[in-house]
């Protein structure tokens, strides 16, 4: 696997794991510790200990070995190879190992890989390639982590869903420091390009086709970088009265994007029914937005029942948000009446502020920049924090040999790991 391919392969939020470095070289330690700033390692416990292979052997006789142990050594000889065998004997099954040595030697590399070492790096090591090697080893051992899919949908048109979605996207990326991807599933009906200040350069169908064909370069050109951690699919060029994209192709696109972005935020406010079903069936969190009017509340009740059917009888991850409270006080359904009718608590009640929402949608302003808007964001972000905090690792699907491959490592010296080219 080339360095470029490895960087692309490992551009995912890594699973919870423990990685332990044994080194005496300060430069190696610094390169490793700098990974604390890499978003991919948010759930990885990175630990540095002074020493080498002998210290690792002594430690793992008394304690559980980590998911990956990294050994920095100044000598590569038969004595070191013997020490590696001793290390393998005290490591748990499946422990990965990376060796950092002094010389660039292809035969040595092959010998170490044949012994169960995941990779061999030559000093001095830099943070980025070291991070990519650790990430690749973790992905091969455990699998990529499951990203979180969050959907927002209205019980009727004009519920303010798009503005809330934009505001939540900025909060997740700027305040919660989550690498976030924002997708509007409305096609040509999308107003996201105005609110996020970009010109539509693609369609949902073109984006899905690029994924289906494995054309990552083309897909990258369809993305708009809104902020340091916020990326948006620059769609909206779809013909408004045409069908958009087959639901199965749309789901493949979701799967692809979720291997790269830890948080996937989808605006379903004007999406066709087929795409809504795809997202609502598998979303980890759904925010259902309704105005406090009788027709909208009745639609909310119906939607909750349909979501329950789609999701196997559970709507525990669906939160109802009442937006536009105060739009017509004499004609509104009260919070207590809404909760009685829905037989569930309302998660948040947001004030009616038409100027704020219209400005957000029409002038590319952030909802949270306004005092009232910031208060709104503070009410909805806690609704998604729990599902983000509970994100854990998921074993990636593979062939029949996948589970056996994941048992390999320094703890199983006779298991040959695939040699990287």
401 in Cβ contact with 88 (< 8 Å):
no
Neighbours of 94 (CB within 10 A): 17
Do 187 and 306 fall within a single domain? yes
CATH number at residue 194: 3.40.50.300
The pLDDT of residue 203 is: 93
Do 326 and 379 fall within a single domain? yes
Do 275 and 336 fall within a single domain? yes
The span from the first CA to the last CA of the chain, in angstroms, equals 5
Report strand pairing: 68-72 vs 96-101.
Answer: parallel
**Has residue 412 been placed in a domain?**
no
**Has residue 400 been placed in a domain?**
no
Do 134 and 52 fall within a single domain? yes
| DSSP assignment string, 321-364 | EEEEETSSGGGPPPHHHHHHHHTS--SEEEE--HHHHHHHHHS-
Do 97 and 213 fall within a single domain? no
Do 8 and 31 fall within a single domain? yes
- Which residue in this structure is represented by tokens 């949608």? 361
CATH number at residue 133: 3.40.50.2300
Flag whether the pTM goes above 0.85: no
Beta strands in 65-179 (DSSP E): 68-72, 96-101, 119-122, 148-154
Neighbours of 279 (CB within 10 A): 25
| DSSP assignment string, 164-209 | HHHHHHHIIIIIS---EEEEETTGGG--HHHHTT----B-HHHHHH
Task: Please give the chain's pLDDT, 421 residues, in tens.
Answer: 666 655 655 666 677 789 999 999 999 999 999 999 887 887 789 999 999 999 999 999 999 999 999 999 998 888 888 898 899 889 987 788 999 999 887 877 787 877 778 889 999 999 999 999 999 888 777 665 567 899 999 999 999 999 999 999 999 999 988 889 999 999 999 999 898 989 999 999 999 999 999 898 899 999 999 998 999 999 999 889 888 899 999 999 998 888 778 899 999 999 999 999 999 998 999 999 999 999 999 999 999 999 999 998 889 999 999 999 999 999 999 999 999 999 999 999 999 999 999 888 888 888 988 899 999 999 999 999 888 864 433 323 233 333 344 445 555 543 322 233 2
Do 113 and 172 fall within a single domain? no
**Has residue 152 been placed in a domain?**
yes
**Has residue 327 been placed in a domain?**
yes
Do 183 and 314 fall within a single domain? yes
Do 316 and 363 fall within a single domain? yes
Do 294 and 219 fall within a single domain? yes
- What percentage of the chain's residues is helix, strand, coil (to nearest 5)? 45, 20, 35
The pLDDT of residue 3 is: 66
How far is it, in rounded angstroms, from Cα 118 to Cα 113? 6
**Has residue 414 been placed in a domain?**
no
Domain count along the chain: 2
Q: 88 is written with which tokens?
A: 């393998």
CA-wise closest residue to 349 among 265, 285, 268, 291: 291
Do 187 and 88 fall within a single domain? no
**Has residue 420 been placed in a domain?**
no
**Has residue 417 been placed in a domain?**
no
What sign has the CA pseudo-torsion 189, 195, 200, 205?
A: negative
The pLDDT of residue 410 is: 58
**Has residue 410 been placed in a domain?**
no
Q: 337 is written with which tokens?
A: 């009446």
User: Which of 144, 178, 213 is at the close of a domain?
Assistant: 144
Q: 414 is written with which tokens?
A: 């006779």
Helices 53-60 and 78-90 cross at an angle (nearest 10°) of 20
Distances (CA, A) of 377 to 208, 357, 390: 31, 13, 21
User: Which of 144, 166, 184 is at the close of a domain?
Assistant: 144
The pLDDT of residue 375 is: 94
Instruction: Determine the structural domain holding residue 172 and report its residue range.
Output: 148-389
User: Which of 84, 115, 144 is at the close of a domain?
Assistant: 144
The pLDDT of residue 399 is: 33
Do 108 and 202 fall within a single domain? no
């Amino acid at each position: 696997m080339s360095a470029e391919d490895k960087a692309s392969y490992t551009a995912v939020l890594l699973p919870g794991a423990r990685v332990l470095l044994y080194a005496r070289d300060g430069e190696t330690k610094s390169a490793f510790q700098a990974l604390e700033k890499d978003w991919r390692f948010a759930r990885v416990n990175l630990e540095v200990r002074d020493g080498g292979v002998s210290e690792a052997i002594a430690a793992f006789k008394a304690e559980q070995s980590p998911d990956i142990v990294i050994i920095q050594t100044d000598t590569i000889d038969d004595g070191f190879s013997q020490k590696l065998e001793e290390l393998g004997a005290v490591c748990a099954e499946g422990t990965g190992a990376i060796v950092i040595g002094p010389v660039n030697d292809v035969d040595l590399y092959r010998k170490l890989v044949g012994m169960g070492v995941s990779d061999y790096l030559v000093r001095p090591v830099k943070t980025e390639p070291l991070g990519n090697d650790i990430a690749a080893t973790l992905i091969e051992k455990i699998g990529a982590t499951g990203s979180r899919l969050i959907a927002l949908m209205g019980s009727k048109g004009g519920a303010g869903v798009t503005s809330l979605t934009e505001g939540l996207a900025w909060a997740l990326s700027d305040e919660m420091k989550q690498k976030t991807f924002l997708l509007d599933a409305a096609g040509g009906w999308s107003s996201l390009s105005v609110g996020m200040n970009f010109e539509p350069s693609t369609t949902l169908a073109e984006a899905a086709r690029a994924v289906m064909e494995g054309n990552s370069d083309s897909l990258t050109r369809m993305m708009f970088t809104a902020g340091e951690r916020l990326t948006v699919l620059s769609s909206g060029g779809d013909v408004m009265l045409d069908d958009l994209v087959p639901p199965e192709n749309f789901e493949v696109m979701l799967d692809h994007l979720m291997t790269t972005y830890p948080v996937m935020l989808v605006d379903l406010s004007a999406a066709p029914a087929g795409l809504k079903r795809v997202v609502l069936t598998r979303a980890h969190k759904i925010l259902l937005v309704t105005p406090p009017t009788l027709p909208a509340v009745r639609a909310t009740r119906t939607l909750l029942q349909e979501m329950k059917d789609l999701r196997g009888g559970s709507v525990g991850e669906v939160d109802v948000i009442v937006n536009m409270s105060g739009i017509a006080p004499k004609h509104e359904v009260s919070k207590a009446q809404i909760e009685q009718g829905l037989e569930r608590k309302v998660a948040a009640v947001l004030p009616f502020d038409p100027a704020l929402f219209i400005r957000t949608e029409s002038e590319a302003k952030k909802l949270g920049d306004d005092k009232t808007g910031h208060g709104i964001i503070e009410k909805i972000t806690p609704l998604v924090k729990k599902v983000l905090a509970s994100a854990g690792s998921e074993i990636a699907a593979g062939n029949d040999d996948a589970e056996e491959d994941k048992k390999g490592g320094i703890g199983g010296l006779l298991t040959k790991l695939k040699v990287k080219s």
